[in-house]
Amino acid sequence: MIQRVLTSVLTSPALRDVRRGTQRAVRRIKRADRIVHFFCQIDDPYGPAALHYLARLADRHALTIALRLVPAPDAAAAPEAAKLAAYSRRDAARIELALGLGDGSVGREPLPEQVTRAQRIAAAAMGRDDAAAVLAAITRALFRGGDALEELAATLGEADAEATLAEGGAERAKLGHYLGSTTAFEGEFYWGVDRLHYLEARLAAEDESDAPPICPRLDPGPYPTAPPVLATPPRLDCYLSFRSPYSLVAAERIGGLAAAYGATLNLKFVLPMVMRGLPVPRAKRMYITLDTKREAARHGIGFGTIHDPVGLGVERGLAVLHHVMPSGKGLDFAISFLRGAFADGIDMTGDPGLIKVAARAGVTQDQVRAGLADESWRAVAEANRADMFALGLWGVPSFQVDDRPGWWGQDRLWMIEDDLRAANGLPPIDRRMP
């Protein structure tokens, strides 16, 4: 009960609005500038695109950008650091190509000594008036390779980066975040280019501006009016867990995407990271909860009254999911379970809660009991985890269309749509901003 109440309050729009109003009032009393903090991890390939749009927002809304040079997230926040780095490069390259911002060179892996050199150049450039543009140029030069870094070092110089990185990391931790390429503004965080449209909407409301948007909203759609008819429908694998808030947002939307393109949807459930021995620090849990709230709200999905199913609740849910998937009720049960855990605050560790969420998915009590009596789901979950890791992925929700590369995150459904379009012989959707 306490967890339900606390999470409902924490994620409530009313509390968010009070916090925003308080921050705004304090700023106006002090007659202070509107300051956004950008945490620049110089070897984070998401940085240049985020800085591109942030600079445009700063011009429109009279923002002061406070740049912080930061190190990579620590092992607790990014337990699969090598996988994260490799995935980020190809993910960021695809984003830039889709938005018409780059040539995909951020997909290249830099050498460790090149990263150190880039940090030293960035440290020397931190005090410049054009530091935001310069830092983006340094990151691009780092990934481009060749003589690009040498040329920037000759122009900008180099400085000891150790103290600058430590100060930036401390400020990031103080404000309550852990990733690079994140923008912080008066108590809220906006990662990469993906979340800057939330900052833009917030600033536009404060300024009473109806100017056309600057920042992209990377969403799938509009869908075809009728699904294609193919001799071999594309396969869409969806990796999810029952402790992942983002899996709720994905589950609510993935069925419609699959149907729109005539794809065969396969649910591939895995155990949550924390149940696989991977840590989830408090700052990360907090950000994920609040970020899921705004993502869910944007798509009309209920979220915020939470009863964490970690442990027994997850195991019971996966046992039933595994049992009902062959009958075609897997997605309906997954959605109902995730809604129960993250929108309704239902306790899944006992029969009353589990039977309730099963019933609204058309799953009977007998099916629930049969599922709970069958331990074979454990081997399937482990096999699914191995498949996911083989794709270079480790977190959920993740997706793969046929044998194409896999993608991670409910905010990558637009990539999945483009992959489904390719499987149907259709061109990608033009997602470039004016």
Per-residue pLDDT of 259-268, as tens digits, reads 999 999 999 9
Digit-coded pLDDT (tens) for 165-183 = 999 999 999 999 999 999 9
Q: Are 203 and 392 in contact (CB under 8 A)?
A: no
Q: What confidence score (pLDDT) does residue 273 get?
A: 83
% the chain with pLDDT above 90: 91
Q: Is the dihedral of CA 218, 190, 284, 138 positive or negative?
A: positive
Mean pLDDT of the chain: 96
Cis peptide before 279 (omega within 30 of 0): no
Residue 192 binned pLDDT confidence (cut-offs 50, 70, 90)? very high
Residue 280 binned pLDDT confidence (cut-offs 50, 70, 90)? confident
Q: Is the pLDDT of residue 281 over 90?
A: no
Residue 392 binned pLDDT confidence (cut-offs 50, 70, 90)? very high
239 phi, psi to nearest 5 deg: -90, 130
Q: What confidence score (pLDDT) does residue 1 get?
A: 73
Q: What confidence score (pLDDT) does residue 277 get?
A: 72
Q: What confidence score (pLDDT) does residue 76 get?
A: 84
Measure Cα distances from 211 to 2, 198, 208 in Å.
Answer: 43, 15, 9
Q: What does the pLDDT average to over 305-317? A: 97
> How many degrees, rounded to 5, is the angle at CA 132 between CA 76 and CA 198?
65
Q: What does the pLDDT average to over 287-311? A: 97
Q: Is the pLDDT of residue 294 over 90?
A: yes
Lowest mean pLDDT among 8-12, 70-74, 215-219, 271-275: 271-275
